[in-house]
A and B are shown apart, each in its own frame.
Chain A
Amino acid sequence: MKLIFEKSQGGRRGGELPRYDVPPAKVPDELKRERPPRLPELAEPEIVRHFTELSTRNFGIDTGFYPLGSCTMKYNPRVNERLAMLPGFRDLHPYQDEDAIQGALELMWRLQEALIEVSGLDACSLQPAAGSQGELTGLMLMRAYFADRGEGDQRDTIITADTAHGTNPASVTMAGYKLAKVETDARGNVDVAHLREMVNERTAGLMLTNPSTLGLFDEHIEEIARIFHEVGALLYYDGANLNAVCGISRPGDMGFDIVHINLHKTFSQPHGGGGPGGGPIVVRDRLEPFLPIPAVVKDKERFRLDFDRPKSIGRVRGFTGPFGVFVRSYAFIRSYGPRLREMSEVAVLNANYLLARLREAYDLPYDRLAMHEFVLSARSLKRDNGISALDVAKRLMDYGFHPPTIYFPLVVPEALMIEPTETEAKETLDEFADAMLAIAQEAEDDPQLLREAPHGRPVKRLDEVLAAKRAIVKYGFEDHPDLSDAKAEPRQLEAQKGA
């Protein structure tokens, strides 16, 4: 398929702009643009066709089953798209006066209250832009909390699980902490004996998700919380797997002090090909003074932004957060109400059903009931037929499914992490299971078919090694008849008519 630049025809454009009868402004010569940027030049119908064609080469939840473990690819309710586009939300400037943004502030406050209830903690900030930023904000809160208590220099280490998502250790470094890793035991729980050796008065805290990335609920979570609280350390909950336990077990009740929630996972914000997301944090009372400013507060019957937080860590991003995401997540929560618990029950039911159907054909590293996701291994296929998790994933594409997460968590070789979510019908789960079983059989009968998969996508298997070596990260224009740098004259654009 051509790039949009390869479809450009000089002089074409999407639409006309308004012209006004005002004197033209002059840019000082030393600041003026010399050569126009080589933006695409297409008429509107061609633009629509180009992006429509691009979308047909892409697979979303709207297209089919998307069981990416740890991503919670649930259906994104369409009414939420309409609601986010209401002019009262869509066309609102963030610096409007307080009296002019009461609807927006109320929505945010209500969302905060709902997240507080779901997490079992006391105070919420919606500011962080995504889970990773929520993690970093949470670690900054820890730093501020300990500094306030005079323990800032003493506490220099954060403990993460060896099954942790890569964002956890990356956040630890960005927050200026040292990293320590605790092992996982044979039942998929944090190794409590190993933990006891590691935790001391230098520990600032723990970062953990529960259920873990293995899809298993940690059976010793109460003991783990005790170990950290006894030395005055804090517990941080990575909310990536919250879809398993809403209304069933709350992170605050498990003993966590700071929680981030992924609005683009648990609360249905569409992933948009990589973003946007939302990573609000919810904290225990004693951490509230350190939350980012401004806070959204309710003052009798009115809502306002409170900047009077002398102990706040400051601002972690512009304004009050991704408001369009809040609209969608709030609408999602309001459409469930207290029945949010059923969301988790069905998510866990669906995962265990798939696990039951697949456990004979693939290796199961931890033989326990799963929560909302589970991890299989293609290790036997590798040993017996030379077929890797990657080959299984590519072959699933030919069956019309998006592959699960592969090669994560790191503690499982040839890992396949499968998370169906609650919005899938049993028939879909059965079709997927049938495909996985068929592929396990194909691994024996016709392994080459898998190694060369996919066969039915717009492209064949792509060469990532070549991409890394060439590092071609933008269109080069060299072959374009009009726009190559070889042309000496900067292109002259028409002066604006009537200017």
Chain B
Amino acid sequence: MLAEIGVSSVEELFRDIPAGVRFGRKLDLEPALPEQELSRHLEELAARNADTSKELSFLGAGIYDHYVPAVVDTVLQRGELLTAYTPYQPEMSQGVLQAIFEYQTVICELTGMDVSNASGYDGTTVAADACYVAKHATGRTKVVVTEATNPQVRQVVKTYAPGFGLEIVEVPHRGGVTDPEELRRAATDAACVIFQQPNFFGCLEPAPDLAAAANDAEAIAVAHVDPISLGVLEAPGAYGCGMAIGEGQSAGNYQSFAGPHYGFFAARNDFIRRMPGRIVGETLDAAGERGYVLTLQTREQHIRREKATSNITTNQTLLALGGLVHLSWLGPQGLREVGETCMGLAAYAQSKLVDSGLEPAFPDRTTFKEFAVRTGRNAQVAIRSARERGVHPGYALGRDYQGLDDVLLVAVTERRTPADIDRLVEALTP
């Protein structure tokens, strides 16, 4: 090979690198591990984590322990999909392209929207994306977001705001939900209003009224939604939202210490040319057969460069594909059942905890798969004590909200049983 190239050593191939920037020593990295030793090392690291096989978990707060059916693993391990690149050469990539087209369809069906992209990074960055679209669509620079929206979503929007030239205004929660009147007043001159349904506390917001409040102010209503809830809760497109976004993890992804997962982004047709990220479209080939291609690419960075709708290139395709497989396995009946089961079990857990002497933090609110409960002591103390009994009882809401230091956010998915709930009650009894 060296002879064909016309050099006498591998070292000579690097002769263009100036001496002043040559790295003169060996890399200070630990010695190479062959596969067996590598596995042992990683297994040892993994063993020092308390995963859900070690502690019964009621943790949610944005990432959930839903059941991932085995077929998801089967599909995501197909080498032709796993090891493929972005489908820029469509004749080599009809598998990925058709799968994304099916995913886009499923997201539009769940959310009641006209167009979905091929995924964003996660449920937080798609909120920043929505603000960018809204700013350019309306010319306005104010964004309203509810306090009952996931704190991380709000933090990310605030991180992106200076570069986007946006002012962020928060509308406080009132007893665990948002007041539409308050939202309407805040939404004057706003580009968009972002609210979460179910919200971070697990409470059901008066979503149609919040969307109406946004629309009254001529701001775009953006609903941040849970895909697993959309078999029982109405689609945002049916109650006046212009965009629907969210974290896809609950559909088809393991928790995996929070990543990688996928954000979804769907919108009404008005916004199609401003959509960030990849979009797959249907077309015909030279023989008149149906096929799929990346389309409307002139929105994207590789063509529009500094005027692109986003800089996003690599997204979360494989994880979105996991969502498609999971939702296909559930079907509409299964999705409704999962939603009903989560809702019923969570309500049951809340009633059992109330029976045992704990107070709901937001009484009289209907909740979906999570609820906030007052433990009667510091929530972190309650967690420590419960964990000694092998149960992680939930998220300490005081980390993000004032006046809620004694409150736990308890998530109950279809993977929990009534017996598990009994253990939770027992573990929270001082």
Contacts and interface: CB of A to CB of B under 8 A. Distances in A.
Q: Do chains A and B touch in the complex (CB under 8 A)?
A: yes
B208 interface: yes
Interface in A64-81: 66, 68, 71, 73, 76, 79, 81
B279 A473 contact: yes
Tell me the dominant secondary structure on chain A's binding face: loop
A31 B207 contact: yes
A403 B15 CA distance: 29
A133 B125 CA distance: 10
Interface string B287-302: 1010111011010111
Interface stretch (A191-199, A228-236, A245-253): A245-253
B311 A171 contact: yes
A37 B383 contact: no
A426 interface: yes
Contact of B293 (A71, A79, A462): A462
B80 to A, nearest CB: 4
A68 B52 CA distance: 40
B363 interface: no
A95 B395 contact: yes
Contacts of B296: 468, 471
A487 B113 CA distance: 19
Interface stretch (A114-122, A379-387, A439-447): A114-122
Interface centre among B100, B315, B327, B387, by most chain A C-beta atoms within 10 angstroms, is B315
B259 A323 contact: yes
A22 B137 CA distance: 47
Interface in A267-322: 270-278, 292, 313-322
A410 to B, nearest CB: 9
Contacts of B287: 459-460
A272 B42 CA distance: 23
Interface in A451-493: 452, 454, 457-464, 466-468, 470-475, 491, 493
Given A14-B331, A93-B57, A140-B163, A36 B231 contact: yes
A219 B281 CA distance: 43
A314 B124 CA distance: 13
Interface in B34-50: 34-35, 38-39, 41-50
Interface in B372-393: 383-384, 387, 392
B232 A32 contact: yes
Interface residues of B, number: 193
B156 A130 contact: no
Contact of A356 (B5, B110, B395): B5
A39 B106 contact: yes
Given A130-B312, A461-B285, A32 B104 contact: no
B44 to A, nearest CB: 8
A466 B334 contact: no
A313 B381 CA distance: 31
A217 B27 CA distance: 21
Contacts of A275: 119, 260, 314-319
A14 B29 contact: no
B63 A93 contact: yes
Contacts of A83: 38-39, 42-43, 46
B163 A24 contact: no
Contact of B313 (A58, A131, A253, A321): A131
Given A44-B71, A271-B83, A316-B156, A397 B89 contact: yes
A273 B87 contact: yes
B328 A42 contact: yes
A60 B87 CA distance: 10
B310 A60 contact: no
Nearest to A171: B311
Nearest to A133: B121
B102 to A, nearest CB: 5
A317 B296 CA distance: 26
Given A76-B83, A493-B336, A318 B247 contact: yes
Interface residues of A, number: 196
B63 A471 contact: no
Interface string B89-111: 11111111011111011101110
A436 interface: no
Contacts of B313: 130-132, 167
A367 interface: no
A459 B92 CA distance: 9
B318 A270 contact: yes
A39 B328 contact: yes
B427 interface: no
Given A106-B48, A473-B295, A136 B42 contact: no
Contact of A463 (B27, B286, B335, B392): B286
Interface stretch (B182-190, B214-222, B341-349, B354-362): B341-349
Interface string A338-349: 111100010011
B8 interface: no
A171 B310 CA distance: 8
B169 interface: no
Contacts of B280: 473
A146 to B, nearest CB: 12
Given A96-B59, A176-B164, A318-B62, A466 B116 contact: no
A333 interface: yes
B80 A140 contact: no
B47 A94 contact: no
Interface centre among B50, B235, B335, B387 (most CB of A within 10 A): B50
Nearest to B197: A31
Contact of B30 (A86, A133, A337, A426): A337
Interface string B323-335: 0010111111111
A258 interface: no
Given A60-B84, A472-B282, A474-B108, A47 B328 contact: yes
B4 A357 contact: yes
A319 B235 CA distance: 27
Contact of A1 (B98, B259, B281): B98
Interface in A106-127: 106-107, 114, 117-118, 120
Contacts of A103: 44-49
A170 B278 CA distance: 15
Contacts of B192: none
B152 A319 contact: yes
A201 interface: no
A300 to B, nearest CB: 16
A23 to B, nearest CB: 7
A339 B417 CA distance: 50
B335 A331 contact: no
Given A13-B334, A20-B417, A471-B296, A88 B314 contact: no
A205 interface: no
A254 interface: yes
Interface in B68-86: 69, 71, 73-75, 77-86
A51 B282 contact: no
A408 interface: yes
Nearest to B20: A222
Contacts of A135: 311
Contacts of B47: 88, 103
Contacts of B319: 272, 275-276
16 contacts: A14-B71, A14-B330, A19-B341, A22-B345, A63-B79, A88-B45, A93-B255, A95-B395, A132-B313, A136-B163, A272-B316, A272-B317, A320-B258, A323-B258, A324-B256, A493-B332
What are the nearest 9 A-B pairs in CB distance? A272-B318, A88-B46, A58-B95, A62-B79, A14-B329, A274-B317, A103-B48, A319-B258, A100-B50
Given A273-B84, A318-B152, 15 more contacts: A20-B345, A87-B46, A88-B45, A92-B49, A96-B50, A97-B392, A129-B316, A131-B313, A173-B308, A174-B310, A317-B156, A320-B257, A334-B33, A356-B5, A463-B284
